[in-house]
Amino acid sequence: MNLAGYLMVYLSLAGSVARPPVWLMCAYICAGANSQAFAGTGALVTCVRNFPEGRGAVLGLLKGYVGLSSAILAQVYLALYGGGDARSLVLLIAWLPAAVSVVFLGTVRVVPTDRKRPRQSAGGDVFLCLLYISVALAAYILVMIVVQREASFSRAAYAASAAGLLVLLFLPLAVVVRHEHRIKTELDEESLREAPVAVTVVGKTAVVVPKAPQQPPASAESDTPHGGPPAASSCLGSFLRHTFNPPAYGEDYTIPQALVSVDMLVLFLAIACGAGGTLTAIDNMGQIGQSLGYPPKSVDAFVSLISVWNYAGRVAAGYASEALLQSRHRFPRPLALTLVLLASCAGHLLIAFGVPRALYAASVLTGFCYGAQWPLLYAVISELFGLRRYPTLYNLGAIASPVGAYVLNVRVAGRLYDAEAARQHGGSLLGAAGGGDDGMACVGVECFRRSFLIITAATVGGALVSLVLVWRTRDFYRGDIYAKFRDDAAAGEGSSPASGSDGLMARWRTNSRTKQVAEIESTWVNDL
C-alpha cells in the first residue's frame, strides 16, 4: 500500500502518468498514509505480547522511534538526493518504508520464552541499553538540525551525517543479537548440567482403574426447544447480556464490550481533547510564529525540533510510568495521563497570551505532551481490556486524535483565525484563509488567543474526565496488574517446554520418561 500509493503520487508529480483527478490523488495519498498503520500495529502489538510486564517501556521506545521517523527520513533524503526536489522526497517515502518492512518482516512474531525466566528480568537491561541508544540518536538529530541550519552543508557532509545516523539507528540490532547469544549459551549450559532421569521399579502393584459410567448423549432437543433453531430474540438477548456484562479489569474484553465501556468512552474524550489540542498547536506552529513576529529562521527551528520533543515525551512517559507503576506506591497510569494533559495547558496559555520569547518553551511543552499521551493511552488500553483483541482496540483508541484535531483545528482555530484575518484586512476572507499570502496573513496575539483559550478549556475538561477513569480503576492499579502473566508462566512451566535448545532437551526427557512408563505398565499387564 505504501509503495503503490506514494509511487503513484510521485509518477503524477513527475508527469509520467496523466494528471489524476482530485479524488484519485486523495485515494493515492490515503493508501500510502494509512499503510503504516498496518506495519505499526503488527510490530507494536507483537512486542507488547512478548513483553507484557514491560509494556510501558516497550510502547515508549517504539512510539519514540516513530516520533523521530520524520527527522530520520529528512536526513536520509538530504544524503541521497541533496534536497530541493519535492518529487525525490515523495519517491523516498514510497520505497524506503516498504523495503524496510520487507527486510524485517520475519522478525515480527510472538517469540516463546523460557518459562523459568521472568520476562522482565530477561529484557530489563536490554530495554535500558535501547533507551540510551535512542537518547543518543535523538541528541545526534538535534545537533544535526541546529548545525545544518547554521552552516552550509555539501553533499558529502550530508552523506557523512547520515552515515552516523544509520550507525546509531542499527546499533540496537547489535545489542539484541548479543543478548540473544548470551541467553542461548546459558540455556545450553543448563541443559548439559541436567542429568537424565532414571526410573526404578520397586515392586509390582496391580492398579484397577474404575470404568467411568457412560453418560447418555445429549439430545438436540435439550439444546434447542422443540428441536428447532434458537429464536432470534434469545440470541439478541444473550448478546446484549454478554456485551453489557464485561469481565474484570485485566481480562480479555470483546470488541463490543470495550466499545460500550465507560472506560473506553472516558479515554476517547480525554485523548480527543488532549491530543486534539496539542496537534492543533503543532500544525499551526509556523503560523503562530509568523503572527507573533518571530523571524522565519527561528520558526523553522521550532517546527523542526518538535519531532525531538515528541520523541522525548513518548520515551519519558513510557519508561517513567512503568517505573512508577511497579514501585512501592503503585502510581496509576491514568493519573499520569491526567498530569500530562494539565501540563499541556501551560503551552497553550503561552501561545494564547503571546508571552514574549516564550514560543520556544511552548513548542517544547506541546511536542513533549503530545508524545507522552500515546504510550500512556496504549498501555492503559492493554491493561484494562486485555491483549486478546488489543490490535483492534489499539487502533480504535487512536481515532480520538483526528476527531479532536478536526474539531479544535478546523472548526475552532481555523475559523477564528480566518475571522481575525478578515477583520484586519477590511472584512475580506480572500487570501486570508490559512495565511497563504503574507500580505493577507493575520498578525498579532489576537490571531490565536481565543482559539487557544478554548483549547485550554477543552484540555482541562479532558483532564477532569480522565479523573473519572482514575477513580474507577483505583483498586485495579493498587494490586499487582502483572500477576496474571506470572501465574500463567508458572502454570505453563510444567506443561509447556521452553524454547530453543532447552525446549528440545525437555521434549527428549519427556518422551524418554513416557516410553519407560509405558514399558513398565506393559510388564505389569503381562504378569497379571
* pLDDT attached to residue 483: 76
pLDDT of 290 above 60: yes
pLDDT of 245 above 60: yes
* pLDDT attached to residue 37: 86
**What digits encode the pLDDT tens for the residues 36-64?**
888 889 899 999 998 888 899 999 999 99
- The owner of cell 539507528 is 169
Q: Give the CA distances from residue 349 to residues 17, 42, 369, 449, 464, in Å, rounded to whole numbers and listed in that order.
A: 48, 38, 14, 9, 18
The model's confidence at residue 242, banded by pLDDT at 50, 70 and 90, is confident
Name the least confident of 297-311, 327-341, 390-404, 452-466: 297-311
pLDDT of 344 above 50: yes
What whole-number distance in Å separates Cα of residue 446 and Cα of residue 288? 11
* pLDDT attached to residue 200: 58
Which option is the CATH number for 254-493: 3.30.1180.20, 1.20.1250.20, 3.90.1280.10, 1.20.1280.290?
1.20.1250.20
227 contact partners, CB below 8 Å, separation of at least 6 = 220, 221
Nearest to 323, CA basis, from 65, 138, 53: 53
Rg (CA), the chain: 29
Domain ranges of the chain: 1-188, 254-493
pLDDT of 481 above 90: no
Averaged pLDDT for residues 481-507 = 54
Q: Phi and psi at residue 322, in whole multiples of 5°?
A: -70, -40
pLDDT of 121 above 90: no
Q: Which amino acid is at 82?
A: G
Whether the CA torsion 175, 176, 181, 187 is positive or negative: it is positive
Does residue 297 or residue 463 have the better pLDDT?
Answer: 463
- The owner of cell 538529530 is 141
What whole-number distance in Å separates Cα of residue 441 and Cα of residue 431? 8
Whether the CA torsion 264, 269, 274, 278 is positive or negative: it is positive
pLDDT of 225 above 50: no
Nearest to 449, CA basis, from 473, 408, 413, 483: 413
Nearest to 309, CA basis, from 361, 355, 378: 361
Contact indicator for 280, 409 with CB cutoff of 8 Å: yes
Averaged pLDDT for residues 70-95 = 90
Q: Give the CA distances from residue 358 to residues 62, 149, 292, 345, 354, in Å, rounded to whole numbers and listed in that order.
A: 30, 21, 10, 14, 8
**What digits encode the pLDDT tens for the residues 139-198?**
999 999 889 888 888 889 999 999 999 999 999 999 989 988 888 888 777 777 765 555
Contact indicator for 254, 242 with CB cutoff of 8 Å: yes
Q: What percent of the chain has pLDDT over 70?
A: 79
Question: Which residue blocks in 326-438 are alpha helix, DSSP H?
Answer: 333-353, 359-385, 390-398, 400-405, 415-424
Averaged pLDDT for residues 279-301 = 91
What whole-number distance in Å separates Cα of residue 35 and Cα of residue 471? 37
Contact indicator for 403, 276 with CB cutoff of 8 Å: yes
Q: What percent of the chain has pLDDT over 90?
A: 56
What whole-number distance in Å separates Cα of residue 489 and Cα of residue 493? 6
With both helix axes pointing from N to C terminus, report the angle between 359-385 and 390-398 in degrees, rounded to the nearest 10. 150
Give ∠ CA 409-393-473 in degrees, rounded to 5: 90
* pLDDT attached to residue 385: 95
Q: Which DSSP category does 412 fall into? A: I
For residue 114 the three cell numbers come to 523460557
Nearest to 485, CA basis, from 473, 493, 495: 493
**What digits encode the pLDDT tens for the residues 398-411?**
999 999 999 999 99
* pLDDT attached to residue 192: 79
Contact indicator for 271, 373 with CB cutoff of 8 Å: yes
338 contact partners, CB below 8 Å, separation of at least 6 = 270, 463, 466, 467, 470
Q: Which DSSP category does 6 fall into? A: H
What does the buried/exposed string (b/e) look like for 352-374 if buried means 16 or more CB atoms within 10 Å of the residue's CB?
A: bebeeebbeebbbbbbbbbbbbb
Q: What is the pTM of this model?
A: 0.80
Identify which of 105-114, 274-283, 510-519 has the greatest average pLDDT: 274-283
Longest dimension (CA), the chain: 110
For 423-446, the three-class secondary structure string (H helix, E strand, C coil) is HHCCCCCCCCHHHCCHHHCCCCCH
What does the buried/exposed string (b/e) look like for 28-38 if buried means 16 or more CB atoms within 10 Å of the residue's CB?
A: beebbeebeee
What whole-number distance in Å separates Cα of residue 117 and Cα of residue 322? 20
pLDDT of 108 above 70: yes
pLDDT of 517 above 80: no
285 contact partners, CB below 8 Å, separation of at least 6 = 299, 302, 303, 306, 363, 366
The model's confidence at residue 436, banded by pLDDT at 50, 70 and 90, is very low
